Structure 1
Amino acid sequence: MSLPEDDLTCPVCCDIFTDPVLLSCSHSFCRICLKRCWETCLRECPVCRKRATKSSPPTNLALKNVCEALLQARSQASAALDEETNCTLHGERLKLFCLVDQQAICVVCQTSKLHKTHDCSPIEEAVLDCKDELALTLKLLQDKVDSLIEIQRTSKDISKYIKNQALETQRLIRSHFEQLRQELCQEESARLAAVKQEEQAKITGMKDKIKELSAEVLSLTETISVIQEQLQEEDMVLLKNFKATQERSESTVLGSDNMSGLLIDVTNHLCNLKYRVWEKMLDHIDYTPVTLDPNTAHPCLILSDSLTSLHYAKQSGGCPDNPERFHISAEVVAMTPLGSGSHHWVVETGSNQDWILGVASLSAPRNAEVSARPENGFWTLCFRDGEFRAMTSPPTPLTLSRTPKQIKVQLDYDKGTVSFLDPADNTSAQFDMWGMG
């Protein structure tokens, strides 16, 4: 355990002990300091004035060793300081800072080939500049740490939100498949009923056919009996009855021997069954070219289960502050980025009196309040305060004869144009994407 420097200081010279001696009163002094004191006064302790019992007090070896260790440490520290503040090549004091090589140099180094053409500044100025730069770096790093701590703090909430998001998505998937199953069950029931109905019709037809055949068999049997009887009669009786017997045999019409079309039309029921069912289901299933991405929606925008419509709520939905989300303005973008070709979709605006719609670039800012203008990555049409405006720079007022309930957005990526049309009369507004971006 090291002692405080006050305990290693001679009371006479007020410096670190040199060859300390120990008096009987337990006070220590440098040997030379004590000798000088005793030359001018009585042989007593300079501190407590107690008479010394010995003319030559013993050396305080323990104190001497501690003091020598302290002096040696001081010497090494001084040498190290000189090494840090002096040039290792020329031994001169480091007074300049090379701005190119970012190192401290002496005046000899400055005139050498290595640094002759380099800009230098005094050490004092360089220290201030470096401190300012390090302070800025420190602030950036601290901001990053604060940001990471904030992310870490909210990670549990995000994990909980992800679980809820997964459960809700699974619920909606089950709901969609349940609807499909119901459609399939209804179609299955209808087709099974059609087979059953045809079966009943065919069986009823066969029963009628059997009755008809039985009646014809009976009629023919009776005619055969009459002819057989006539053949047993006398010749004159046979001749008298021949005409009537012949007419009776000829009047028997055989119409029940046609047996075609009696079976169930299996081909009609099974031909391309899966395809025909799928084709019929498509008539009842809507396809939407634009699906809204809930991960980009402002917290106050509530999306429908089908992700095709939304409404504004004053209270936030409690979604996380992920980077894809619009945090300032109440906006949401579609799920699929468009990078080529021609595309169009129709937006139902209904009776909404405040809306903005169109196309946004992937780089559009989402965590800052900016105008929906081309220079910010937005090509949009706005309806606000009863006025239509194409959000060019500056905005272009539009005069329409009526307020449309639908807006058709048409993007030609290859040509770089965005058009807004009223599907009812094809009234349009158009501006150039690339020329205004």
Structure 2
Amino acid sequence: MALEDELSCPVCTDVFRDPVLLSCGHSFCRQCINDHWTSSSSRNCPVCRQLSPQEPVSNLCLRNTCETYLREQSTRKERDEEHECPIHGEKIELFCQTDEEVICAVCKKQEHARHKIQPLQQTLQQRKAKLKAALRSAEKSLVSLQKGTARDPKISRYIQFQAQHTERKIRMEFETLHQFLRKEEEGRITALNEEEKEKRAKMERRIQGEMLSLSDRVKELKEGIQDDDITFLQNYHRIMDRSDHTLPDQELSSEALIDVSTHLGNLKYQVWEKMKDICPYYPVILNPSAAPPDISVSDDLTSVTSCFHRQDEGNPLPLHSNRMVLASVGYADAAHAWDVEVGDSHRWSLGVCFGLEGKPATQPLTPENGFWGLRRDGDSYELMAAGMSRVNMEVNVKVVRVKIVYCHEFLQDMMQLKRWRKVSFSDASSNSLIAEFARVPLKKKLFPFVIPEDQAVPLHVVPANVTLTVEQKIPLIEIHRFSCLLFSFCICIVFIFMSLLGKSDRQGR
């Protein structure tokens, strides 16, 4: 109340309204000082009795302070009214932990009699302490982000590294294609130039031969003209006959020209067909973003190797503890097969799974957890199942073939078709079955995976054989000819049948 006393008019004892300042330094409400001077018929100060001959001036600073104080008082009063129980009008001093709401003492006795109640201030202290702890954690994370030591900035830097690395590899791959196309272009231009040179030389030899033949005939004619009169007349008809055949021109065919169709016919297709040798197709492409930092993935994303040291730019995301590398695409339908070259590695695992999203990092690799695989540990082969079922192998497999096929059976008692998948592992060199998992569920996609365990010995996806085929279409004229032949054949059969039938009737009579 001390502040309110300082802001109160000495005459009306209320907070100043339109305060004015007298020459003596005291302040009053404008209305209060005017009423005082009217009633006393003198212009003296009600506090110090000093005369004030000048008109009082507005005390703007005091007026602003009073207005601010009155607004704050009004706001505080409204807030205090809001903190009263809307049902009982009592002051809210308790907190119901059961219903998570503030209550008054009457509410505690009535609606919240059996609830867990706590003093409001105690609840405030507890929850503010928790909020401060969360605030400290948020501030710590903010500082970590600002300094670049948090995980998100690391991921951002790793994304930048991935983009730069991938762009560099894309350019290298396209440079390989450009080199192939440039070499192919040069080879075809060279072949064209050689054919041009050969056929031009042939034409030049032909021209030279004709020129030589004509020169001989011209020389012979000139000599005939120079003969004496009797000899000239005797040889005239023979000489004229030879002059009529001075150019024994041989007919030229299209073979004398450039065989353009050889150089341009299906040019793009022929080049594309030859590109198979430098453009292998891999049925499984590995996902480097899901590879642990101590596993190296090849640039073409088809082989993995367990490294001696962690890579410089390791993946900052949390990864599965089994050091597994998944394929980039999962299979949901149709049959699929791929080969994995394990070579001389004595420790590896491979197979299929439902993916790693939402799975614990230490989850066992078993069918119950969505993993179906084959593992080699030294000289023993095991199915990745509960208890690790051992597989008897007489030879060491160099290339493992993994197949996903679809099976079904009709359940007569339930009158429904039951479908499932089967995952099998076989020796690709002999196509002999190693082991298989039957009745793999259909509910999710199956992602191929590999786990290299021998350091410096890679596991490599083998490229698939690609065959280019051209659809053969029968021309309409051939179809028409075949139809006519078939119709004629049918007519002949009918006549033969009718003849045999008539002959049989005559023999019956």
The answer, yes or no, to whether TM exceeds 0.5 is yes
Match of 2:303 among 298, 309, 329: 309
2:361 is matched by which residue type in structure 1?
A: A
How many Å apart are 1:166 and its aligned residue? 2.1
1:424 is matched by which residue type in structure 2?
A: S
How many Å apart are 1:339 and its aligned residue? 2.9
User: What is the alpha-carbon distance in structure 2 between the residues aligned to residue 135 and residue 409 of structure 1?
Assistant: 58
Match of 1:373 among 366, 376, 380: 366
Spell out the pairing of 1:75-114 with structure 2 (5 A cutoff): 89=88, 97=96, 99=98
Contact 1:95–1:122 under 8 Å retained in 2: no
1:383 is matched by which residue type in structure 2?
A: R
Instruction: Tell me what 1:417 maps to.
Output: 422
Spell out the pairing of 1:8-407 with structure 2 (5 A cutoff): 89=88, 97=96, 99=98, 120-123=114-117, 153-154=149-150, 155-218=152-215, 254=248, 256-320=250-314, 322-323=316-317, 326-364=319-357, 368-407=361-400
How many Å apart are 1:275 and its aligned residue? 2.5
Scaled by the length of structure 1, what TM-score is found?
A: 0.63
Contact 2:195–2:258 under 8 Å retained in 1: yes
How many Å apart are 1:269 and its aligned residue? 1.0
User: What is the alpha-carbon distance in structure 1 between the residues aligned to residue 354 and residue 292 of structure 2?
Assistant: 17
How many Å apart are 1:374 and its aligned residue? 2.0
User: What is the alpha-carbon distance in structure 2 between the residues aligned to residue 380 and residue 147 of structure 1?
Assistant: 41
1:433 is matched by which residue type in structure 2?
A: V
Deviation sequence 1:372-417 (CA, Å, 0-9, x none): 1122232211111321112123432211221111111222478432
CA separation of 1:343 and 1:158: change in aligned 2, threshold 3 A: same
How many Å apart are 1:345 and its aligned residue? 1.5
Q: Which shows bigger deviation, 421-430 or 304-313? A: 421-430
SS in 2 for 1:416: strand
How many Å apart are 1:202 and its aligned residue? 0.7
SS in 1 for 2:256: coil
Deviation sequence 1:250-277 (CA, Å, 0-9, x none): x999473435422211222122322321
Root-mean-square deviation (CA, aligned residues, Å) is 4.9
How many Å apart are 1:298 and its aligned residue? 0.7
Contact 1:379–1:418 under 8 Å retained in 2: yes
Identical columns (%): 28
How many Å apart are 1:205 and its aligned residue? 0.6
2:88 is matched by which residue type in structure 1?
A: L
How many Å apart are 1:143 and its aligned residue? 7.8
Contact 2:298–2:304 under 8 Å retained in 1: yes
2:376 is matched by which residue type in structure 1?
A: F
User: What is the alpha-carbon distance in structure 1 between the residues aligned to residue 302 and residue 142 of structure 2?
Assistant: 35
How many Å apart are 1:198 and its aligned residue? 0.5
Relative contact order higher in (CA < 8 Å, ≥ 6 apart) = 2
User: What is the alpha-carbon distance in structure 1 between the residues aligned to residue 126 and residue 332 of structure 2?
Assistant: 45
How many Å apart are 1:197 and its aligned residue? 0.7
User: What is the alpha-carbon distance in structure 1 between the residues aligned to residue 274 and residue 103 of structure 2?
Assistant: 83
Deviation sequence 1:243-301 (CA, Å, 0-9, x none): xx99999x999473435422211222122322321221123311112222111101100
CA separation of 1:273 and 1:435: change in aligned 2, threshold 3 A: closer
How many Å apart are 1:356 and its aligned residue? 0.8
User: What is the alpha-carbon distance in structure 2 between the residues aligned to residue 92 and residue 248 of structure 1?
Assistant: 142
User: What is the alpha-carbon distance in structure 1 between the residues aligned to residue 355 and residue 208 of structure 2?
Assistant: 79
User: What is the alpha-carbon distance in structure 2 between the residues aligned to residue 248 and residue 419 of structure 1?
Assistant: 89
SS in 2 for 1:261: helix
Instruction: Tell me what 1:28 maps to.
Output: none
CA separation of 1:90 and 1:166: change in aligned 2, threshold 3 A: closer
* Paired positions, count: 348
CA separation of 1:125 and 1:384: change in aligned 2, threshold 3 A: farther
Q: Which shows bigger deviation, 254-263 or 135-144? A: 135-144
User: What is the alpha-carbon distance in structure 2 between the residues aligned to residue 337 and residue 434 of structure 1?
Assistant: 14
How many Å apart are 1:418 and its aligned residue? 1.8
CA separation of 1:260 and 1:270: change in aligned 2, threshold 3 A: closer
Contact 1:411–1:417 under 8 Å retained in 2: yes
Question: Unaligned stretches of 5+ in structure 1?
Answer: 3-75
Scaled by the length of structure 2, what TM-score is found?
A: 0.55
CA separation of 1:93 and 1:184: change in aligned 2, threshold 3 A: closer
Q: Which shows bigger deviation, 86-95 or 355-364? A: 86-95
How many Å apart are 1:225 and its aligned residue? 7.7
1:402 is matched by which residue type in structure 2?
A: V
User: What is the alpha-carbon distance in structure 2 between the residues aligned to residue 363 and residue 317 of structure 1?
Assistant: 22
CA separation of 1:108 and 1:170: change in aligned 2, threshold 3 A: closer
